[in-house]
Amino acid sequence: MDVLGQILPLALLDTVSVSTLAIPVWFLLTPRGLRIGNVYGYLLIVGAGYLALGLLLLGGLSAVREPLGDAVASHAGDTVVAVAGGALLLLGLYYGFVKRDRDHKGEEGNQGRLTRWREAAVGSQATARGVVTVALVAVALEITTMFPYLAAIDILDRSRQPWAEQAALLALYCLVMIGPAVLAALAQQIAGRALHPALNRIDRWIRRNARENTAWLFGVVGFLMLSTTKLYEHGMNRLTGE
């Protein structure tokens, strides 16, 4: 499979993240005074932020791949990876069960603050500073869960293609990532409030599944990290008597 075929599914997975879908849909549901240009500005900043971060990581990954691989292959490195994988697995369980109940209790208290953020970004009194702040905060908060993006960067680095081609593919990834939200904004401009029922359904789906999906993401990545270690293999051999 070529590089584009490998990273495109990951980009499609990233189209349903908080910064690329949940927040734009939430913006488009602004009751009155929506500044649609600010929604496009937000998406541009998010895409550019991801691209800049990706290029930095892509530039540094080649330099550290070999020494990092040697470090991970050592006993200490294997233990660190196993502990990190186990921690992510436990974090997924915590986020999916314990934190769900706590967040549900505090959800109403946060609603007013979130509404003020939306007004500052895309409301009738919105400012450029508000748009930039929300966009940068959204990208920063997603750094800990951008596993598909990190996987795409690793695929690009392993491809050994010229750096310019890798950068172009990464830019395409970022465009695909914000594509559905851009189309939703265009549809909002054309259809106006007639689009709100569909946006409300998307918003409810995101709210209902976001926490569970994040928990699964932490859990799956944690298990994959843990299962690649010699410590895990040794433990499984002892359990099965091999």
Tens digit of each residue's pLDDT (9 = 90 or more) over 12-21:
988 888 788 8
Which residue has better confidence, 193 or 179?
A: 179
Instruction: Indicate the pLDDT class of residue 128, thresholds 50, 70 and 90.
Output: confident
Q: How far apart are CA 208 and CA 200, in angstroms?
A: 12
Asked if the structure places residue 91 within a domain, the reply is no
Q: Is the pLDDT of residue 126 over 90?
A: no
81 Cβ contact partners less than 8 Å away, ≥ 6 residues apart: 72, 225, 226, 228, 229
Report the domain count for the chain. Answer: 1
Instruction: Specify the pLDDT at position 109.
Output: 47
On whether residue 80 sits in a domain, the answer given is no
Q: Which domain does 16 fall in, by range?
A: 3-74+107-208
pLDDT in tens, 69-86: 666 677 777 788 788 878
What was the pLDDT predicted at 97?
67
Does 25 map to a domain?
Answer: yes
Reply yes or no on whether the pLDDT at 205 is more than 60: yes
On whether the CB atoms of residues 124 and 35 are closer than 8 A, the answer is: yes
pTM: 0.72
- Distance, in Å, from the CA atom of 125 to the CA atom of 209, rounded to the nearest integer, reads 31
Contact 34, 149 (CB under 8 A): no
Q: For the chain, first and last CA: distance in Å?
A: 36
